[in-house]
Amino acid sequence: MALMRTLSACVSVAEKAGVVLRDIMASGNLGIVDKGGINNLQTLADKKAQLLIVTSLMKHSPKATIIGEEDDIDYDTDEARSLITMDTSSEVMEHSCPDKLAGINEEDLVIWVDPLDGTKEYVEGRKQDVTVLIGIAAHGEAVAGVIYQPWYEVEGKETGRTLWGVVGLGAFGFKRVPVPEGRKIITTTRSHMQKSVQDAIDSCKPDKLIQIGGAGSKCILVIEGTADAYLFASPGTKKWDTCAGDAIIKSLGGKMTDVFGKDLLYHADVPYPNKTGVLATMRDFDFYLSKIPANIMDR
């Protein structure tokens, strides 16, 4: 019950954060800041979207732990208070919580927030790659997730869409295309390519490689059946990049781990980086795992 209640708020705030991303893009004043490292940017949109999501969730689910990507945000301001929304998704509340997750209490929840996944792509105007990610974990495991895609087009109109899922219940908000048996299409990074990433991909001998920005957008390709595996043999992604997609992929019967097959864990006190990379598939997980060289990166 606590899980579905919190998830219903997450769906609603993810969509409202998407409006913030669209409005700031339309204003033309992105306020770009370099956070250091390679292709590691922040804009006014990252900050304002996180402000909206986190202040709203703190009010809605005060006992949950909420961890957002941006760490320089003051939630005790008039602006923060003005952004609070208590709206929830009635679509989520129409579903009952799977029995296995029914015992989860609000204080067990750890909510991982990436207010704008694909900031580099946002800055470059590659809007289709941008997503808002909210993942919910309990006892270390990703159990529910929301991916909002603000610029998703329906009949030529950028209406946006929400994908959400709960492990044991299923996932909603998209259509999975039929996938030919044995096909191997891999998706990976566009802007953080390096040798270990390429070597792991080459070992799998994919039929095709799709390089796009953002962890959320790559998870969507796997969820919908456009790609068969998301493979990134490198540090770089953080828990807020993977938690939402991890939960949705799992809720469809797929799998997300590091590149050595170890589950990604989402306890409140885990280190944020996914140091040993990401492997996510809806099928043929063992094939990809068997092809990735054991020494591809430091464990």
Interface residues toward Mg ion, by CB under 5 A: 69, 114, 116-117, 241
| Candidates 32-40, 45-53, 57-65, 102-110; binding stretch for ligand AMP (CB under 6 A) | 32-40
Cβ-based neighbours of 291, under 8 Å, separated by 6 or more: 200, 203, 204, 205
Residue 65: active-site member: no
**Is 115 a residue that touches ligand AMP (CB under 6 A)?**
no
Which residue, 23 or 124, has its beta carbon nearer to ligand AMP? 124
Residue 71: active-site member: no
Q: How far is CA 239 from CA 30, 32, 77, 127, 247, in A?
A: 25, 23, 27, 22, 12
Marked catalytic residue, from 43, 46, 117, 257: 46
**Is 70 a residue that touches ligand AMP (CB under 6 A)?**
no
**Is 117 a residue that touches ligand AMP (CB under 6 A)?**
yes
Residue 127: name its binding partner from Mg ion, ligand AMP, none (Cβ under 5 to 8 Å by kind): none
Which residue, 48 or 190, has its beta carbon nearer to ligand AMP? 190
CB–CB of 161/173 below 8 Å? yes
**Is 37 a residue that touches ligand AMP (CB under 6 A)?**
yes
Which of these, 250, 246, 243, 226, lies nearest to 176 by C-alpha position? Answer: 226
CA atoms lying within 13 Å on the CB side of residue 207 = 10
Terminal CA-CA length for the chain: 38
Measured from the Cβ of residue 109, the count of other Cβ atoms closer than 10 Å reads 25
Residue 40: name its binding partner from ligand AMP, Mg ion, none (Cβ under 5 to 8 Å by kind): ligand AMP
d(CA 64, CA 239): 16
* Cα 95–chain centre separation: 22
Marked catalytic residue, from 43, 55, 119, 131: 119
**Is 236 a residue that touches ligand AMP (CB under 6 A)?**
yes
| Candidates 35-43, 51-59, 89-97, 264-272; binding stretch for ligand AMP (CB under 6 A) | 35-43
Which residue, 83 or 244, has its beta carbon nearer to ligand AMP? 244
Which residue, 88 or 162, has its beta carbon nearer to Mg ion? 162
Cβ-based neighbours of 280, under 8 Å, separated by 6 or more: 218, 219, 222, 229, 230, 245, 246, 249, 254, 255, 256, 257
Pick from 214, 245, 254, 277 the residue near ligand AMP by CB under 6 A.
214
Pick from 6, 131, 189, 276 the residue near ligand AMP by CB under 6 A.
189
**Is 38 a residue that touches ligand AMP (CB under 6 A)?**
yes
d(CA 232, CA 235): 8
Cβ-based neighbours of 123, under 8 Å, separated by 6 or more: 30, 32, 41, 43
**Using CB under 6 A as the criterion, which residues of the chain lie in contact with ligand AMP when the complex forms?**
37-38, 40, 117, 189-192, 213-215, 236-237, 241
